[in-house]
A and B are shown apart, each in its own frame.
Chain A
Amino acid sequence: MNIDKRIADDLAANGVSFVTTVPCKQLAGVIEEIDQRDDIFHIPSNKEDEGMGLCAGAWMGGKRPAIIMQNTAIGVTINTLATLIQYYRMPLPMLISYRGELREPVACQVEMAVHTKALLAQLNIPTYHFHWQKDVEELDNILKYTFMCNKPVAILTDANFWGGYGDQ
């Protein structure tokens, strides 16, 4: 299975046509796949809160958005999640590279990993954790759920899900 294509296919099948990204090595393949597709508009952001602003505007303009980012971004975007996405009740699937989990080579990444689920729980953000490649089978239902309830929803994808991090 080509996991990058599978994710992009699920996004497109759920009508997601506006995707903003802040890069991560683990996400490089899926970002490249999205960038090359004609059925999804890709706009890179310089920071994740900026990206959430773009997604909010795109949704009010009639497009289904998504953001792809690292879990470190949870530290950047708490105010935006609370006062824009949640306050105005907007849907936002967040495909998140869960750095600092099993098979992580960079120690500093663990420092945000240990806070990631607690922060998401504190914000009452529905959170799913993809650890095995077969977990991607839930993505379709998660996207349907997100646009049903108009909430931000987190999909944490760890290094094991991506088949390891780089040479690890």
Chain B
Amino acid sequence: MIRSEILKEIAPILRTQLVVCNIGIPSQELHAIDDQPSNFYMLGTMGLASSIGLGLALAQPKPVIVIDGDGSILTNLGTLPTIGNNAPGNYILMIIDNGSYGSTGDQPTYTSQRTDLAAMARAAGCTRVVEVQDKDTGPALEEALASGEATVLVVKCDSGNAKMPVITMDPVVIRDRFMKAVAG
């Protein structure tokens, strides 16, 4: 499976949750598959989805699901110790690990070679770290929500992107409707 197929499958789970989605094609795919006010789409700033989601989870009690990528995590590796030492039980970091920088032309990342993000998350202090194959994402995500524990979910899948339109929504509109969903 590629990322867009996973997103289609888990859309019914994501629909009712606060979601912070990674820059580029992941946000375009989520936006096209199931746009919701409770989705925060990153339009820029590679690497910070996990940090934005952590700040959000620490500031309020609703569950927060971050949809991140292997390339994005590698860009902001300092995030893992911060998560390992601070993440509250309402924080779920789902790393769609397709071993490539999808938005820039599928160049390979180091997770397609020797680098193991789940092991790095454990070494950084994250206690509930789960690695699954693409087809098992839905149940693993539901288990993470039910666990009430901070979770790093590494989803191994194939490299590839769906052709989706660029998000043209104004960033302040994205942010404003998201904040209303957070407060609602």
Contacts and interface: CB of A to CB of B under 8 A. Distances in A.
Interface residues of B, number: 34
B43 interface: yes
Given A43-B86, A50-B48, A61 B178 contact: no
A57 B171 contact: no
* Contact residues of B: prevailing secondary structure: helix
A57 B175 contact: no
Interface residues of A, number: 32
Interface of B: 20, 40, 42-45, 47-60, 76, 78-79, 81-82, 86, 171-172, 174-175, 178-179, 182-183
20 contacts: A18-B59, A45-B78, A45-B82, A49-B45, A49-B47, A53-B51, A54-B52, A54-B58, A54-B82, A56-B51, A57-B51, A57-B52, A57-B57, A57-B58, A58-B58, A60-B59, A61-B55, A62-B59, A80-B45, A88-B174
Contacts of B178: 60
Given A60-B175, A88-B172, A88-B175, A53 B59 contact: no
Contacts of B79: 46, 50
Contacts, number: 111
A49 B182 contact: no
A88 B167 CA distance: 14
Contacts of A84: 42, 44-45, 48, 52
A57 B55 contact: yes
Given A60-B182, A87-B43, A90-B175, A50 B59 contact: no
